[in-house]
Every structure is written in C-alpha cells, then in structure tokens.
Structure 1
Amino acid sequence: MGGVGEPGGGPAQPGAPLPTFRWEQIRQHNLPDDKWLVIERRVYDISRWAQRHPGGSRLIGHHGAEDATDAFRAFHQDLNFVRKFLQPLLIGELAPEEPSHDGPQDAQSWCLQHDLGHTSVFRKSQWNHVAQQFVMGQLKHHAKPNIFHKDPDVTVAPVFLLGESSVEYGRKKRRYLPYNHQHLYFFLIGPPLLTLVNFEVENLAYMLVCMQWTDLLWAASFYSRFLLCYTPFYGLPGALLLFVAVRVLESHWFVWITQMNHIPKEIGHEKHRDWASSQLSATCNVEPSLFIDWFSGHLNFQIEHHLFPTMPRHNYRKVAPLVQALCAKHGLSYEVKPFLTALVDIVGSLKKSGDVWLEAYLHQ
C-alpha cells in the first residue's frame, strides 16, 4: 500500500503501489478543469476525459469529488466494458481508514440490480460507444434529482423559488418577482414555457458559453433533421412556428407529469446521500392504473425511473412491488399518491415556498 498521495497525483503506474487519498484531499478537485471522483474506493482523475463521456460532461461532473459508485452501477449495463475506459484515469484509492461515502448514510448501503427485466439493443462492439453517445446526446437523465444546479428540473430561480432557495432569496432581500404569488403565475409561464425556455434556450446557451461542442453537434443534428422534414411542407417560418407550438403543448404535459413527483419533495443543496436514499427522498410515485400508466408514459413510477435509469418503462410496474418491499425491509420511505393529489401538491408546494420566502424577506 502506498502512502497518502499528494493532492495533484498523476496516473497510477502499472505494477506500482497505488497512492492513497483522504476525502479532504479529494474535495479539492471539483473544478471544471480539475475533477476527481471515487468509484468502488478507487480515485480517478476525469479532468480531461469528462468531455468525452458518452452521457455528457455535465452528468459525470455532478459527481465531482464524490463517491460515484452507485451512479456508475446504475447507468452502465456492462461494468467490465466501462472499467476499461476508467483504468487509464486511475490515480489512487481511498485510504483504508476513510469511509466509502463522503457524507452521511441515510440508510443501509444497498443496491438493486439495475438491469432487472432489462433488454439491450446494444452489443459489445466497436459501435457500442458511438451508439451510446448518440442516445445519451439526445436523451439526458438527471442523476442528482432535486439538487440545485445539478437537476435542471428544479434549478428555476429566479423565476420560481423552491426549497432552500426560498430562504436564501428572502434573507438576501431578493425580489425579482412576487414569489409569494408564484403558485398563481405558475399557470401563466410554468407549463407553457418550461420546456421551450429551460430545455431549449438555456441548454443551448450553456453549450455555447461553455463550448460543449459535442453536445452542440448532437443538438444541431436534431434541429437540422426537424427543419429538413417540415420546411418543404410549411416553409421556414411555418416549420419554426410548428416547433414552438409542439414544444408549448409538450411543456404542459411534461410539467404536470414530471413535477408532481418532484416539486412537493425535498429540494435543496447536495446532501451526499447514498444512491437509494437520494432517489427516494427526491421522488414519489403516483397510484397506477391503465390510464395513468399510459398517460404518464409510466413516469408515475418515478421512484423506479430514478433507481433504474436504464430499465424500459413498461417494466416499472413489474419491479415496483419488489422495490416497495425492499424499502419496507430497510425502513426507507416509499411514497405513493393519488393522481389528483399529486397535481394539487405542485401548487401547494409553490405556495409554501413563496410564503417561506416572504417570511424571510420581511423578518430576516
């Protein structure tokens, strides 16, 4: 076993003892151009490789200076294949006296088999990396739900305030909008514009400002294909109008279906929980039925959706009783709501956060 490594450790040499690091050293490496993470107690320097990550640099970057073992297992089907990419990035391992997680454990560390009921269209081949990059470039999944600046669904300040941001804005006397009425103006700008503005404009701005050229290329391929398909029929102005109309209609569905599982739950800064606890604390399910399953695209099983990000949605109903039983065994909360209650809770949570902001604004 090597001694305690220096904060600027380089790649591990083949056959040489691995240097060891403490969490206080690892935490220093969470910058855009200097990022480490821990997987299975081994320390990796992903500073340069993050830009090549098939799921995007933002997704893997959210785990900077943290233990990413659970997320690593949840998002990758063939762990042995992915470990080949990690090996050149290995710089050391956690010191024996250090805990595996840099933070409190809210529950026993348990991991559900992520590929339960899963069937893959990808095989081990030279095209596997390209195929995954295409899919993940088009379909992003948040691995840090309800965490500010790591989950785009809840990073909506200064338009809306949620969770801990309500207190922060109130204490700092920030009043860009009448947040105590945000549950009312939510209907005017939330469902109609969230997808169009937050997912289109904000993401494009991020890719341009941060020079995320790979992500920008995949986004450009989508817009090009859309315009090539519809411009011959409607002309360029008509195709653009169609795009906006579709996004606005989609936004109404998306906001109500996804936010009923998130906004009423705990929202705040990084708590450094284990995978299962972080997903369960940030999500809840909606009572299933044939109609709700179809209408929500099986996203009423939001807990399973987050625990098993690679599982096909039609299998959520099958695995849900197993997850619920396992949560009961380990004393973890597994919340299920009626559909209408979940919708009403969105408005109620916005009003509660607005009232918290007003209280802090007036009295702090």
Structure 2
Amino acid sequence: MEVKKKYITQEELKKHNKPGDLWISIQGKVYNVTDWANQHPGGDIPLLNLSGQDATDAFIAFHPGTAWKHLDNLFTGYHLIDFEVSEVSKDYRRLASEFTKAGMFEKKEHTVIYSLCFVVFLFVSAISGVLCSDSFWVHMGCGGLLGFAWVQVTYLGHDSGHYNIMTSRGFNNLVQILTGNCLTGISIAWWKWTHNAHHIACNSLDYDPDLQHLPFFAVSTSLFKSITSCFYDRELTFDPVAKFFVSYQHYTFYPVMCVGRINLFLQTFLLLFSNRKVPNRAMNILGILVFWTWFPLLVSCLPNWTERVLFVLVSFIVTSIQHIQFCLNHFSANVYVGPPKGDNWFEKQTSGTIDISCSAWMDWFHGGLQFQLEHHLFPRLPRCHLRRISPLVRDLCKKHNLPYRSLTFYEANVSTIKTLRDAAMQARNLLWDAVNTHG
C-alpha cells in the first residue's frame, strides 16, 4: 500500500530555524538536524546558518555521494509542497553530476605527493641553513624558506579540510594535525570552524568571519553601524578607535598583513582554551605544543637577538603573500548583510568571489585558490581540476548573466586597495565630524 505523502510549506519550514529546532530541506524532503548539529563533521555553524530553508546546493557542494544514505535517519516524513528548483541550480547540479560521473572528485593526480615533497624540502633546507651556517644572509634566506613552507603547508591543510588527501579519513585527520598544528602552530579545528562558516555565508558582513576585522579593517560602510557578528556572537563595534584605524586602512593593509600570523596564533589559543565544543581538542592542543617547542628552539639556535627577531619577521612577511591573496579573493567583491540563503547558492558565490588570473605554471604558487569561484562552487574538487573546469563555470555565469571576475594579481591588489580607500574616506569624514563636534 502506497503511503500518502505529507507536506508543509516553506513558510512553515522557516519556523524551524533556531538552536534546539533545526530543520532543512534537501531536494524537497524535510530533515530534522537538531540533534545531528552537534555531531556534524563540518560543525554546527553551517546547519544553523541554513536552517529553515532549502540547502540542496550547499549539501551537494560539501558532501560526497555516500552522505545521502545518512539522510534517511533524519527524515521528518514531510515534503515541501511549494518546492521549486531554479534554472541556475539545475545547471549547477548537472555540472556537479558530470564531475562525479567523470570521477574528478576522487582523482587527485600527483599534486599531494609533489606538495608534500616540496614542503619537506623547504623545511629541511630552512632548518639546515640555521644549524649549519654562520652567515647572516643565509639565516635570513632560511627565514624566507620557512615562511614559504608554511604557505605550502596551508594549501595542503586547506585541501585536506575539504576532501581526503590521504587513503582514509583517519590518516587525513592525522596529516591535518601534523602539518597544521605541529608545523604551523595554527589549529586545524580553528580553521574548520571559521572556514566552513566562510564558505556557507560568503561575504555576509554579519555571518562571514573572514570579513569581520574591526577595529583594523572595514570593507563596507555597513560595518560603521556596529552590526552584530552572528559568528562570534558579539557586536562589531565601530568606536572611535575603529574609526581611526579604518580611516588609514588603505595605508596599513600591507604592514598589518606582514604580522597577520600573530592574529592566527591568538585565534587558535582563544578557540582551543574556550568553552566551545572543539573536535579532537586534546590532539589539537598537543599539536600546538609541538610547534611551540620546535619553533622557539630553532630560533634560539641563531647567534643573537637581532638575527632571531629578523628571522621571525622575515618568515612572517613571506606568509603575508598568502594572507593578502585571501583578502584579494573577497575584499573588493560584493557584500551583503543577513544570513545566507540556500536557494541562491550559485548566485551568492559568484557575487562574493574574485579569481586571480595567472599562467598555469604559477598554479603551485597560488595553491588552487586563484580559482576562488570554482573552489567555492565545488569545494571538494581537487585543485588539479580547477583550471580545466573554469571555462565551464565561466559559460554558466554568462548564460545566467552572473558576474565572473578574474583579475591579475596586480589588478586584484588595486581593486582591494580602492575598496579599502573608499571605506576609509567615509570613516575619515565620520572621524573629523566627531572631532569637530566634541572637540
């Protein structure tokens, strides 16, 4: 006997959008993810942000085919009576299906092996130079090599966070701890926490943590209204201190990026020693302790404090290239205020991302992140495939009259500085108005 389907409307679904009552829709079927949120490998933030709405495209983007079978246990028995799929989503899902059938999500080629070998070479060279040479310039060069090793390790960590670069999930998690926590001092748990939120709420001023840099930076005058960060659960206060720093942000952008790594260390400690639930907290803390053992020991091997300080500074300056690239991909793209919407997934990704145009031989340098839109649309796709799918994504954007922005590294820098300068001029006007008013 055929069971009669039960239906609810999208308005009814929207009511289930708060902690303790989280429902989502995937392909018209409604699922209760309230209890699953605490077990979700990607954390609870994505489910909180997309609750009460259709999340089909986001689910397809982040999950392999094997994840579909787990949905049955969460099915409420309800279907959406007014479920519709946009033409953009149909085309997006068709592309994802074609990539799956071609086995592209599993074919990683030899990128991981090459990257691991390159990282080992960089670390060994940097450490050997410090231990085996008395030359000041060799030591400074080793600082640069160490910084570049951190950059390449970050790309590997980014890859492993989106898909298994190793033969199993267990080995993948072990590599994340070894390369991320032990070698760079930045917790993979912190990265997953913030990065998943960034992908889901790309360029939302109040939901995307990658745009929440007050008091130092504000990419939009909307941040002047002291909006509340739904990620950090606190107000992003645009006080006199923020007005001052933001007024000069187009001048301070590069200097701050040169020491931006300090903030990543700080954020790691704040998360690992917070009351928030952190997966594998003990392993993450152990990995951080490993880093803060070998790195100070290496620096202490340098002959004097001048070289030690300069060595650390050089290594940080080299990593700033990567920090800058992260900003170039999003700072001058479109922003919005409010939660992400699952029914315009493709549109939001095209709106909030900027690709970096470069020659194929430079792909290793950018770690795949130069194809930022392609990565955001298909985050599980190994970076070796991003260049070949780029024309398909470009054609799809053209078909639906959506932006596809690809700038050279120089053009992206100019665009980012212009965005920062425009906001700085507005902040400066507010700053001088306050001075003239209060004296």
TM over 0.5: yes
User: CA distance change for structure 1 residues 43 and 305 in 2, over 3 Å: closer, same or farther?
Assistant: same
Which structure has greater helix proportion? 2
| 2:147 match | none
Once the two structures are superposed, the pairs formed by residues 124-135 of structure 1 within 5 Å of their partners are: 130=170
CA drift of 1:130 comes to 4.7
Alignment partner for residue 380 of structure 2, among 290, 307, 310?
310
Give the whole-Å Cα distance in 2 for the aligned partners of 1:350 and 1:84: 46
Distance 1:50 1:217, change over 3 A: farther
Which deviations, in whole Å up to 9, do the C-alpha atoms of 1:312-340 show, x marking residues without a partner?
11221111122212222232221111221
Moved more, 136-145 or 60-69: 136-145
Choose which of 278, 281, 297 in structure 2 pairs with 1:216.
281
Aligned position for 1:196:
262
Residue of structure 2 in register with 1:66 after alignment:
53
Residues 230, 164 of structure 1: alpha-carbon distance in 2 compared, 3 angstrom cutoff: closer
1:41 Cα deviation from its structure 2 partner:
1.6
Quote the residue 1:82 is aligned against: 67
Tell me the equivalent position of 1:262.
330
1:67/1:308 Cα in 2 relative to 1: closer, same or farther (>3 Å)?
Answer: same
- Is the contact made by 1:167 and 1:360 (CA closer than 8 Å) also made in structure 2? no
C-alpha separation in 1, matches of 2:280 and 2:381: 24
Residues 332 and 416, structure 2, Cα contact 8 Å, conserved in 1: yes
The gaps in structure 2 that reach 5 residues or longer are: 109-159, 177-187, 228-236, 435-439
Counterpart of 2:405, as a letter, is: E
For 1:334 and 1:234, how far apart are their aligned partners in 2? 44
Number of residues of Structure 1 aligned to a counterpart in Structure 2: 337
Question: Residue 283 of structure 1 is aligned with which of 350, 353, 357?
Answer: 353
TM (norm. structure 2) is: 0.65
Unmatched segments (≥5 aa) in structure 1: 1-14
Tell me by how many angstroms 1:350 deviates: 1.0
76, 88, 91: which one aligns with 1:110: 91
Q: Distance in 2 between matches of 1:232 and 1:185?
A: 32
Query: Equivalent residue of 1:267, what SS?
Result: coil
Q: Which moved more, 1:34-43 or 1:105-114?
A: 105-114
Matched, 1:330 2:400: yes
- Residue 168 of structure 1 aligns to which amino acid in structure 2? K
Task: Give 1:73 deviation, angstroms.
Answer: 0.7
Measured against aligned partners, the alpha-carbon deviations of 1:195-238 in whole angstroms (never above 9, x if no partner) come to: 431x4433543455452131534532431443565577668xx9
Change (3 A) 1:109 1:63: same
CA-based RMSD of the aligned residues comes to: 3.9
Which whole-Å CA distance do the structure 1 matches of 2:87 and 2:422 have between them? Answer: 26
Q: Which residue of 1 aligns with 2:123?
A: none
CA contact (8 A) 2:32 2:75 kept: yes
Residue type of the alignment partner of 1:211: R
CA distance, structure 2, for counterparts of residue 296 and residue 27 of structure 1 = 40
Q: Percent identity?
A: 25
* Contact 2:329–2:355 (CA under 8 A) maintained in structure 1: yes
TM-score normalized with structure 1 length: 0.76
Cα 1:212–1:280 shift into 2, 3 Å: same
- Distance in 2, Cα, partners of 1:299 & 1:20: 42
CA drift at 1:342 = 0.5
172-181 vs 141-150, which moves further: 172-181
Partner of 1:7: none
CA offset digits 1:13-61 (Å, max 9, x no partner):
xx96554333333333333333222211222222221121122223443
Partner SS state of residue 266, structure 1: coil
* C-alpha distance in 1 between matches for 2:281 and 2:84: 38
